[in-house]
Chain A
Amino acid sequence: MKLKRIVLACATTLSLVAPALAQESVFVPLFTYRTGPFAGSGTSIADGMHDYLSMLNERDGGIGGVKLAIEECETGYDTKKGLECYEAVKPKGPVMVNPWSTGITLPLIPKAAVDKIPILSMAYGLSASAMGETFPWVFNPPDTYWDGMSMIIKYIAAQEGGLEKLKGKKIGYLYLDAGYGKEPLPFLDQLSKTYGFEQKLYPVPAQEMQNQSAQWLNVRRDRPDYMIMYGWGAMQPTAVKEAAKTNYPMEKFISIWWPTEDDAKGAGKEAVGFKTLNWHAATGDFPVIADIRKHVVDKGKSLAAKDKIGTVLYNRGVYNSMLIAEGIRNAQKITGKKVVNGEDVRRGLESLNVDAARLKELGMEGFTGPIKLTCADHNGHRPTFVQRFDGEKYVKITDWIEPMTDKVMPLLEADAKAYAEKNAPWPKRTEVCDVKS
């Protein structure tokens, strides 16, 4: 079965890439990981990204009359392999790269302006890259990890009766001990000082993702009032299981936006109440998903297992590809060219404006909220909601929660400035700006 799927994958890729490259096409490489320790998170994202773009090819003949040449490169969530993928796709003129790893994103940031290949690190990567004046080639919509942390803290505060009630509380932070997990640390530190709560840190080394009993013993000793998780791959199901084992109240265990349904299901009934942030639907009841089923899945051109379509990370992949597609479409509009390049798509992403009407046109009404980027703001800082695991699926339980942009923005500015100084001489922005605000 798997063999059949892999043969199908090769055939699909070849059939898309070969004729498309021969004719006019826009080359969109997808850095994915369907193998290795993080495949549990990576596979559904890869499927969602691939299927949305394939659907555009099948249904619309591509974008603006130009086919998309889609090519996956397997990174295994390994930075070294990711950089090899980058070097492999660079000569083919990609219009952007999607590293899907903070570790891969960070070394690509200085290369982007030189190679003129925009980076779309959707809700991951370097938080400060939201500052378009410093990082004109990097985009990380719809939220930074700092926005995410601020929204979790706001949610916790709402449970307690207000931000001022956080004083004296103990909040635990369980995180993958890597670039991604460490990213929110300075911000969490600042929030703890501002609101007077005590932070307890529980780093999980990548080698110990499935062996977290020591961290959870510490949780048992410290008894945090709430636990926040920034995990990935096998770390997430293990954390939920350990939380259940430790009898930690699941209703007070809140994660950033990455856990899947399967991550929670592994712990059985005891996982009920586990919560995560999200900014899009976790079901398949939307015209866009119906079109994917009709034009890609039913024609046997998808690698996705049918029960995974419409799940959290599949939809995350779809959202990511929607941003890719809208960036390309905008680039075509701005430049008047059909076959756009990296420089054009950078402008396209910078003038991204997916409003409610556009979402409806895309078959995504109610799927997610609008997003608008500008030359200065490459992120959008969009609100998210909290979803609760009910034993089978995630159910939205809050209204939209706005990030604390008043707290996040000054830190982002300072961090972007520090980055530029540390990497001096960091180039001053000379790129064209189409949308100032």
Chain B
Amino acid sequence: MDILYRIFIDPFVQMGGAPDLLVQTLWEGLVGGVLYALIALGFVLIFKASGVFNFAQGIMMVFAALTLVGLTEKGVPAPLALLLTIGVMYLLAVAVERFVLRPLVNQPDIMLFMATFGLTYVLIGVGELIFGGNPKKMPTDALFLPSGAIDLKILGGLVSLQKLDIAAAVIASVMVAGLAIFFQRTRIGRALRAVADDHQAALSVGISLNQIWIIVWFTAGVVALATGIMWGARSDVSFALQVISLKALPVLILGGFTSVPGAIVGGLIIGVGEKLGEFYWGPLIGGGIESWLAYAIALAFLLFRPQGLFGEKIIERI
């Protein structure tokens, strides 16, 4: 009986007993979720355009952040370093299209997927060659990112909102809104969706597949840069960050591989779910459940919606 009480009753008693901690946990979950959503967005963009799960998205985040930090360490002013990093991500997109994607046109998707594996290890090697393996500090002040916290004395306790986390949430929201407009309202966005639906048909109406791929990889690179800045500011910029990108996988399972809103909602559900789980139920089994809880949540959703929350339902008739 005691175990049932501890699983089904006690966590909710705790939530009611210390609502400030509940709000703090939800806030931490939402911030983490927004950042997961940003990572997932990078995956979704490329999957929509080419049907490829880009395994290299995580290392692109690290590579972009390291380029930015590396340039600032060389004395380049941070705003200029930011622009130069965006330029580097564009060059990377061009190189990926020219040397990885173009030679693999019309090859099975699994070939493209494997190519992104290769790209991951190339970027790790090149990144370590250029920047070394030591963790680096994100120059948050130079990038005009706020520091400190806003402490709210509410609900009989304290809720502390880090200004950096607020900035992350705002930047992520702006990026998501911008991307939504880009996809829905612009000519390139529509062309991108056409490519996602059918490569051959898109080609037949004069859409350049190569150009679309460059645009989409570049956009994913910019998203990776924004994510890298935010995660890097929260801890350090190091190759360990790429492990966090794997959190995008349950987000994608949950939200669907082709849905921008799915990435956002999925990210938030995973972020909040894992924080609540770790905080209220984790201690029951010794803690440290966060690393697999996200996958458990995603798998539970799959039981009811195999295509994910916003994914396309595919019905194939034989």
Chain A interfacial positions (CB closer than 8 Å to B): 2-3, 5-6, 33-40, 42-43, 177, 201-211, 213-215, 217-218, 220-221, 233-234, 237-238, 241, 245-247, 262, 265-266
Does A208 contact B133, Cβ atoms closer than 8 Å?
Answer: no
CA A43 – CA B234 in complex, angstroms?
Answer: 22
B243: A residues at CB distance < 8 A? 37, 206-207, 209-210
Does A213 contact B287, Cβ atoms closer than 8 Å?
Answer: no
Does B288 contact A204, Cβ atoms closer than 8 Å?
Answer: yes
User: At the interface, yes or no: B170 with Cβ under 8 Å from chain A?
Assistant: no
Selected contact of B135 from candidates A204, A208, A217, A237, CB within 8 Å: A237
User: At the interface, yes or no: B286 with Cβ under 8 Å from chain A?
Assistant: yes
Q: Can you show 26 pairs from A to B with CB atoms below 8 A apart?
A: A2-B128, A3-B129, A6-B129, A35-B239, A36-B240, A37-B239, A37-B243, A39-B238, A40-B135, A43-B132, A204-B288, A207-B246, A208-B291, A209-B243, A210-B235, A210-B240, A213-B275, A214-B282, A217-B28, A217-B279, A218-B282, A234-B135, A234-B241, A262-B135, A262-B137, A266-B236
Does B286 contact A214, Cβ atoms closer than 8 Å?
Answer: no
Selected contact of B133 from candidates A43, A205, A207, A241, CB within 8 Å: A43
7 tightest Cβ-Cβ pairs between the two chains A and B: A39-B133, A37-B240, A203-B288, A214-B278, A205-B291, A210-B235, A234-B240
CA A2 – CA B131 in complex, angstroms?
Answer: 7
Contact with A along B1-39 (1 / 0, CB 8 A): 000000000000000001001001100100010000000
Known contacts A35-B128, A204-B288; 4 further A-B pairs (Cβ under 8 A): A6-B129, A201-B287, A214-B274, A214-B279
Measured between C-beta atoms, what is the minimum distance from B162 to chain A in Å? Answer: 6
User: At the interface, yes or no: B152 with Cβ under 8 Å from chain A?
Assistant: no
The size of the chain B interface, using a CB distance under 8 A, is 41
User: At the interface, yes or no: B283 with Cβ under 8 Å from chain A?
Assistant: yes
User: At the interface, yes or no: B244 with Cβ under 8 Å from chain A?
Assistant: yes
Does B25 contact A217, Cβ atoms closer than 8 Å?
Answer: yes
B132: A residues at CB distance < 8 A? 2, 5, 34, 39, 43
A202 and B133 in contact, given A39-B239, A210-B240, A234-B238 (Cβ under 8 angstroms): no
B 175-199 contacts with A by CB, 8 A: none
Does B137 contact A266, Cβ atoms closer than 8 Å?
Answer: yes
A208: B residues at CB distance < 8 A? 288, 290-291
B201: A residues at CB distance < 8 A? none
User: At the interface, yes or no: B83 with Cβ under 8 Å from chain A?
Assistant: no
A210: B residues at CB distance < 8 A? 231, 234-236, 238, 240-241, 243-244
A214 and B290 in contact, given A2-B131, A3-B129, A36-B133 (Cβ under 8 angstroms): yes
Interface SS of A by simple majority: helix
Selected contact of A233 from candidates B129, B240, B287, CB within 8 Å: B240
A218 and B279 in contact, given A35-B128, A211-B244 (Cβ under 8 angstroms): yes
A221 and B287 in contact, given A237-B135, A238-B235 (Cβ under 8 angstroms): no
The A-B contact count (CB < 8 A) is 133
A217: B residues at CB distance < 8 A? 21, 24-25, 28, 275, 279
A34: B residues at CB distance < 8 A? 128, 132-133
B241: A residues at CB distance < 8 A? 210, 234
Does A218 contact B287, Cβ atoms closer than 8 Å?
Answer: yes
Does A2 contact B236, Cβ atoms closer than 8 Å?
Answer: no
B131: A residues at CB distance < 8 A? 2
Find the A residue at minimum CB distance from B125: A35
Find the B residue at minimum CB distance from A206: B243
Does B133 contact A218, Cβ atoms closer than 8 Å?
Answer: no
CA A267 – CA B278 in complex, angstroms?
Answer: 24
User: At the interface, yes or no: B107 with Cβ under 8 Å from chain A?
Assistant: no
User: At the interface, yes or no: B130 with Cβ under 8 Å from chain A?
Assistant: yes
Find the B residue at minimum CB distance from A239: B235
A211: B residues at CB distance < 8 A? 32, 235, 244, 290
Measured between C-beta atoms, what is the minimum distance from B171 to chain A in Å? Answer: 18
A213 and B28 in contact, given A205-B291, A218-B287 (Cβ under 8 angstroms): yes
User: At the interface, yes or no: B204 with Cβ under 8 Å from chain A?
Assistant: no
A36 and B21 in contact, given A43-B132, A210-B244 (Cβ under 8 angstroms): no
A215 and B240 in contact, given A40-B133, A241-B234 (Cβ under 8 angstroms): no
Measured between C-beta atoms, what is the minimum distance from B228 to chain A in Å? Answer: 12
B 226-285 contacts with A by CB, 8 A: 231, 234-236, 238-241, 243-244, 246, 274-275, 278-279, 282-283
CA A80 – CA B128 in complex, angstroms?
Answer: 20
User: At the interface, yes or no: B149 with Cβ under 8 Å from chain A?
Assistant: yes
A43: B residues at CB distance < 8 A? 132-134
Of B18, B32, B128, B290, which is in contact with the most chain A CB atoms at under 10 Å from its CB? B290
A262: B residues at CB distance < 8 A? 134-135, 137
Does B235 contact A234, Cβ atoms closer than 8 Å?
Answer: yes
A237: B residues at CB distance < 8 A? 135, 235-236
Measured between C-beta atoms, what is the minimum distance from B193 to chain A in Å? Answer: 33
